[in-house]
């Protein structure tokens, strides 16, 4: 019978790769990354200390050290948007306190995982593109996008726009690096998951690219708008999240072929475009807490008694029923503007009924 030290050593050997596999670059969102000016001149960058980076991402970190704070910012933007979009669903994009950020739920190649990869990649494009415009990165500046053909001739093109081209290219290189350095057997389930992740990363990046639009500013005496200056501007990230949520609802079920390609499970549907989300595994129902899948369950979640939608008590509570309690809500009310220049409000309290899943 092996000794206790031998068993502990074997347990560590088995456990360590699982921990490494579970960590992700999303963990940059959970703790602020130092700005480059905080580093000691000539010192080795903190890339070796950042959790969740793959080997390729660590190399990119060393080359683009000043980008890392904005990658973390982009990840936070993606997480917040995910939580907003799914706030009224059984799975509400909850995060956990470890380097995996989302926990075991993303080990399943489900629709929810597809959305998470897409919105996170979109967040990086968004953050890097804005950082370029604001002059925070030495390797990029304002957008150099070509003048739109439908822009009126007398409008000037060339204001400092968001550099979505650079943001897209950098996000593709950094986010996809983790997937591209994996080497699985052709046609294996693991390869199918890699292809799924790459597809969804691309869909997220394209959502930012496609929603960017022309913004203009008027010039002239007393706001006569005799002249306009226009530039490329990113859309509000909520618009990106809304678009990706629509893609989530219409995501395509895929499977890996022996040739190492993803194909539709149901050939009657149209093949997905690079802008569509795909998944390879069915979703859990997320009704009960399940450590093996990472499902937190819906016990204790607030629900809407009068709604027939996904936030309604019938669906949210999975038929288990719900408890009712009263809570006191305090809000600002009877607000009045006083010259000059402040608003004074009263505080109103009301007792409201709330419902919680059993």
The pLDDT, as a whole number, for residue 151 is: 87
Tell me: pLDDT of 97 over 90. no
Tell me: pLDDT of 19 over 60. no
Binned at pLDDT 50, 70 and 90, residue 21 comes out as very low
Tell me: pLDDT of 216 over 80. yes
Choice between 30 and 33, residue whose per-residue pLDDT is larger: 30
The pLDDT, as a whole number, for residue 4 is: 43
DSSP 34: P
At 157, phi and psi to the nearest 5?
Answer: -115, 130
Choice between 271 and 224, residue whose per-residue pLDDT is larger: 271
Domain coordinates in residue numbering, the chain = 25-36+44-147+158-211+234-297, 298-357
Choice between 39 and 79, residue whose per-residue pLDDT is larger: 79
The pLDDT, as a whole number, for residue 5 is: 46
- pLDDT tens digits, one per residue of 261-284: 999 999 899 999 999 999 999 999
CATH of 298-357, one of 3.30.70.2190, 2.170.190.11, 3.40.630.30, 3.30.2460.20: 3.30.2460.20
Tell me: pLDDT of 289 over 80. yes
Using CA atoms, how far residue 215 sits from 231, 233, 313, in Å, is 6, 6, 43
């Amino acid at each position: 019978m092996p000794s206790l030290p031998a068993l502990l050593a074997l347990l560590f050997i088995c456990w360590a790769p699982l921990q490494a596999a579970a960590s992700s670059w999303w963990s940059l969102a959970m703790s602020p990354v130092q700005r480059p000016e905080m580093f000691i001149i000539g010192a080795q960058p903190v890339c070796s200390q950042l959790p969740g980076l793959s080997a390729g991402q660590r190399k990119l970190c060393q080359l683009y050290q000043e980008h890392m704070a904005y990658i973390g910012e982009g990840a936070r933007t993606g997480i917040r948007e995910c939580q907003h979009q799914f706030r009224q669903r059984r799975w509400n994009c909850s995060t956990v306190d470890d380097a995996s950020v989302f926990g075991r739920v993303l080990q399943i190649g489900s629709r929810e995982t597809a959305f998470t990869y897409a919105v996170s990649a979109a967040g990086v494009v968004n953050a890097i593109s804005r950082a370029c415009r604001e002059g925070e990165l030495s390797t990029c500046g304002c957008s150099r996008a070509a003048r739109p053909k439908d822009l009126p001739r007398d409008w000037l093109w060339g204001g400092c726009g968001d550099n979505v081209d650079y943001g897209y290219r950098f996000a593709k290189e950094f986010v996809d690096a983790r997937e591209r350095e994996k080497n699985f057997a052709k046609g294996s389930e693991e390869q199918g998951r890699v292809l799924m992740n790459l597809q969804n990363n691309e869909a997220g990046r394209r959502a930012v690219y496609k929603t960017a639009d022309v913004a203009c500013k008027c010039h002239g005496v007393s706001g006569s708008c005799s002249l306009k200056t226009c530039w490329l501007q990113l859309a509000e990230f909520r618009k990106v999240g809304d678009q990706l949520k629509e893609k989530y609802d219409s995501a395509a079920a895929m499977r890996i072929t022996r040739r190492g390609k993803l194909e539709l499970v149901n050939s009657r549907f149209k093949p997905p475009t690079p802008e569509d989300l795909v998944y390879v595994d069915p979703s859990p129902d997320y009704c009960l807490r399940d450590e093996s899948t990472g499902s937190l369950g819906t016990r204790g979640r607030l629900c809407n008694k009068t709604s027939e939608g996904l936030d309604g008590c019938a669906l949210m509570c999975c038929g288990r029923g719900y408890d009712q309690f009263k809570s006191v809500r305090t809000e600002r009310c009877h607000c009045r503007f006083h010259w000059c220049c402040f608003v004074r409000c009263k505080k109103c309290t009301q007792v409201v009924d709330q419902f919680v899943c059993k």
